[in-house]
Structure 1
């Protein structure tokens, strides 16, 4: 059996993708994105968000490295930019005030807008997830077969993410609106920490910072 089909290799890819995509951490973002949307549409939003995120991540699996190298962009710069975007969204989760009547009206007129932003991107298909996909499928060191296995692990994680989002309304009834609000603030702080870590890691990759750990 090839090494990349061994249990440790498969587990490594799965855990890496599960951590960077973070299906559980996506739940507060889902609650935030659907707070002004009728519950009957939550399933459609979950399906569209996961579909969009899957297309984006598989696009990076196939073309991400080629695109970055063609444009002459460094992975570190991409990671820093992604960290900034994540930080901006994290701040809205932490300090965000209730939606204004205008925002609620816009949400009611376009129920699916939250499926793309912030749910599909940057929550599910986060910059960290995109970067992880590029690293795990490095064209210079991984064969087509190895990249296919990584793609299968990615698909598995996305199915888990979809399952959790479909269960989200039931989970919210258990924890209540107050609990969901508290979780959203806590996850916003965690997301801000992840954003800072992404920016620091990107700066290290570019040689701007040299930290010992």
Structure 2
């Protein structure tokens, strides 16, 4: 009985730790302003559809990398640092458009709205915003550290719960968009554009520094 209680406490601790860790890495609260900016010209139905698809794609991607990410990286010769550099470039270009209010000037035609939803829900919302280099890398590490089926199940459930919360947060952004109005959305877009560009620089150099260090060490 004491053994079972100790095992339960340990599983509970691992559950809370992994949930908090994954929630911090995915950071749905940080994704919400960008989601709001990119979907403010969509109606409620297509905004909800975008949130659903972005959440499902990110969930599938994180779980897929958790089980086979290390093998894929080794097979294609891809490093996490290279992934960070590419993510930094994507973030920087997106932040530049947001800072110059280019996203707000893009009006989506009704005939192309489904294509627009599919495009932004995959990139950049699902990858690399929700499912970024940090979430992918640490899901691989956490899965390798989970030696038992019990702990692997805890990790998978933690990922599912965090992505579900991410969807709920993005879904609730519709009310925030309506409350802010046109001026509020434009101000928020420019502020977030600046923040996204700063994140992009951090991503880029956090991936570039180890590569340069390896080159210098080899030479």
Aligned 1:33-112 pairs, distance under 5 A: 33-97=38-102, 98-100=104-106, 104=109, 107-108=112-113, 110=115, 112=117
1:200, CA displacement in angstroms? 2.5
Which runs of 5 or more residues in structure 1 are unaligned? none
Pick from 119, 122, 127 the counterpart of residue 116 of structure 1: 122
1:22, CA displacement in angstroms? 1.5
Which runs of 5 or more residues in structure 2 are unaligned? 1-6, 215-219
Which digits, 9 at most, give the CA deviation of each residue in 1:153-204, with x for residues without a partner? 1111111111111111112222323223222222222222222222222234
The aligned residue for residue 26 of structure 1 is 31
Q: Is the 8 A contact 1:87 1:192 kept in 2?
A: yes
Return closer, same or farther for 1:207/1:23 CA change in 2, 3 Å cut-off. same
Larger helix proportion of the pair: 2
Rounded to whole Å, the distance in 2 between the matches of 1:185 and 1:144 is 47
Larger Rg: 2
Rounded to whole Å, the distance in 2 between the matches of 1:95 and 1:144 is 50
Return closer, same or farther for 1:78/1:112 CA change in 2, 3 Å cut-off. closer
Greater shift in the superposed pair: 55-64 or 30-39:
30-39
Q: Is the 8 A contact 1:25 1:187 kept in 2?
A: no
Return closer, same or farther for 1:100/1:90 CA change in 2, 3 Å cut-off. closer
Q: Is the 8 A contact 1:20 1:129 kept in 2?
A: yes
1:99, CA displacement in angstroms? 3.0
Greater shift in the superposed pair: 39-48 or 53-62:
39-48
**What is the aligned residue count?**
205
Mapped pair 1:132 → 2:138? yes
Q: Is the 8 A contact 1:37 1:107 kept in 2?
A: no
Q: Is the 8 A contact 1:29 1:118 kept in 2?
A: no
Rounded to whole Å, the distance in 2 between the matches of 1:177 and 1:4 is 49
TM-score, normalising length from structure 1?
0.80
1:68, CA displacement in angstroms? 0.5
Pick from 139, 147, 160 the counterpart of residue 143 of structure 1: 147
Mapped pair 1:154 → 2:173? no
Q: Is the 8 A contact 1:30 1:119 kept in 2?
A: yes
Rounded to whole Å, the distance in 2 between the matches of 1:160 and 1:71 is 33
1:67, CA displacement in angstroms? 0.5
Q: Is the 8 A contact 1:41 1:111 kept in 2?
A: no
Which digits, 9 at most, give the CA deviation of each residue in 1:111-165, with x for residues without a partner? 532322332222222233222322333x3x4325333322221111111111111
**What's the Cα RMSD here?**
2.7
